[in-house]
Amino acid sequence: MQNFDAIVIGAGAAGLFCAGVAGQRGLRVLVLDHSEKVAEKIRISGGGRANFTNRDLDPHAPHKHFIGANPNFCRSALSRYTPTDFIELLQRHGIAFHEKHKGQLFCDRSAEDLIQMLLRECDAGGVQRWQPCSVKSIRVDGDGVYELDTDRGPVRSPAVVIATGGLSIPKIGATDFGYRVAKQFGLRLVEPRPGLVPLTFDGDGWLPYATLAGLSLPVRMETGDKKARMAFAEDLLFTHRGLSGPAVLQISSYWHDNTPIRLNLAPEADLPAALARAKASSRKLLANELASLVPSRLADAWVQQDADWQRPVAEASDKALTRLAERLSRWEITPTGTEGYKKAEVTLGGVDTRDLSSQTLESKQPGLYFIGEVVDVTGWLGGYNFQWAWASAHACGQAL
């Protein structure tokens, strides 16, 4: 039976960072992961360049960029370890990075640079890493010490950190392990569901738009009503099965079954005025005039939906033009579902924050900690989820 000061289960962003922090503070730390590969989610994120944080994050108003039953839970950790802190770490390791837009920061060269940095931080703390190594069972003895049966034999520690992530992208090893451990020790869960995920549409209703697969354009998209209303101005991508792109991934975290989404497909244009001007001065087909306001493929597909729109703009009635402008600027459509965990970038829900300390991430079960995506804290697209991984890991690593 080997003894450690802390055992971290999960060799992803949060797990590795937490282990490095704790190890460099003098603890004997073991990291376990059932996968052979390390930090695979970092490797595939941001097109292979890892969108590792976001400059725009406001730690004093986390509800702006984070979702959960209690969005303010993450404030403590995020305010104590900020994007600036993580940027300083990258600079110490000589990793070049750049900002794309809306505060999103990416590695210049490769996400692999970030993974190697985390491994060097672990090495600096003398962290032991066992991979691949599955945990078969966890129990706690009468003295409050945890005993784990693993593929490489039994280990003991007074502290166990669960950093196993959520259910998204099962092909890189996602499992429900963290949720099972939470349940085993009587902790509550907020029902997990896919987040930052493409939306799908079934049946004949989608046929007019299936031909638009591959088309991308800037839109304004919203869902919900009154206080629950959420809107994003981002790019939209049409796919064979539905809608994707940043606008859809963002709105998906706020969308609920059987509720519509509303899209303005020409957010920069004053459609009624533009169409009225065209009617007074142009002999072109309405579709051709529309193509100056939205992508031509979209214009062609759109006018097919109404015989009144399939004529020269000068011959179109005012009512028909008003209807067209309204339809384009407030297209309401109800998704039938999502692409599920296989395409979801994150998992909404998770370990209920009511059962965790916002200061240390320790649960009501003494010595058992939960960090990163396994917790009911989900960020927007754009580096926010990685910053939660770093911040929660840092808070936990210091508390250990």
What is the spatial order of strands in the sheet that 135-140 belongs to? 2-3, 153-157, 146-150, 135-140
202 C-beta neighbours (distance < 10 Å), count: 11
Helix (H) or strand (E) holding 217: strand 216-223
Mean pLDDT along residues 287-296:
96
DSSP conformation letters of 221-290: EEES-GGG-EEEEEEEEE-SSEEESHHHHHHHTT--TT--EEEES-TTS-HHHHHHHHHHH--SBHHHHH
Share of the chain above pLDDT 70, in %: 100
What would the mean pLDDT of 51-67 be, rounded to a whole number? 92
Mean of the pLDDT values across residues 134-155?
97
Q: How far apart are CA 116 and CA 120, in angstroms?
A: 6
Within 10 Å of residue 115's Cβ, how many Cβ atoms? Answer: 22
Per-residue tokens: 259: 């509720």
Give the model's pLDDT for residue 203.
Answer: 75
Phi, psi of 54 (to 5 degrees): -140, 125
Q: Which two tokens stand for residue 104?
A: 């999103």
d(CA 20, CA 371): 14
Element (H, E) at 333: strand 331-333
The full DSSP string for 81-110 is S-HHHHHHHHHHTT--EEE-STTEEEESS-
pLDDT recorded at residue 63 = 78
350-389: per-residue pLDDT in tens?
Answer: 999 999 999 999 999 999 999 999 999 999 999 999 999 9
Which tokens hold the place of 242? 């539905």
pLDDT recorded at residue 95: 98
Looking at 62-66, 82-86, 251-255, 379-383, which range is the least confident one? 62-66
> What does DSSP say about strands 128-130 and 29-32: parallel, antiparallel, or unpaired?
parallel
Percent of the chain with pLDDT over 90: 94
The whole-number pLDDT of residue 62 equals: 81
Q: Taking residues 171-191, report their average pLDDT.
A: 97
Distance CA 207, CA 361 (A): 48
DSSP state of 143: T
What is the C-alpha to C-alpha distance for residues 18 and 394, in angstroms, rounded to an integer?
6
Nearest to 19 by CA among 97, 96, 111, 131: 131
Residue 41: what pLDDT?
A: 95
pLDDT of amino acid 321: 97
Selection from 185, 231, 122, 200 nearest residue 369 by Cα: 185
Residue 245 tokens read as 């792109």
pLDDT confidence of residue 200 = 96
Is the separation of the CB atoms in 232 and 220 below 8 Å? yes
Residues contacting 142, CB < 8 A, separation 6+: none
Question: Would the pLDDT of 207 be above 80?
Answer: yes
- List, in sequence order, every residue forming a beta bridge with 243; answer none if it has no partner: 199, 238
Interatomic CA distance for residues 160 and 375, integer angstroms: 15
Residue 162 pLDDT > 80: yes
Residues in the chain: 400
Q: Hey, what are 45's tokens?
A: 């994120």
Per-residue pLDDT band for 202 (boundaries 50, 70, 90) equals confident
**For all residues of the chain together, what is the average pLDDT?**
96
Question: What is the average pLDDT across 320-330?
Answer: 97
How open is the CA angle 70-232-40, to the nearest 5 degrees?
65
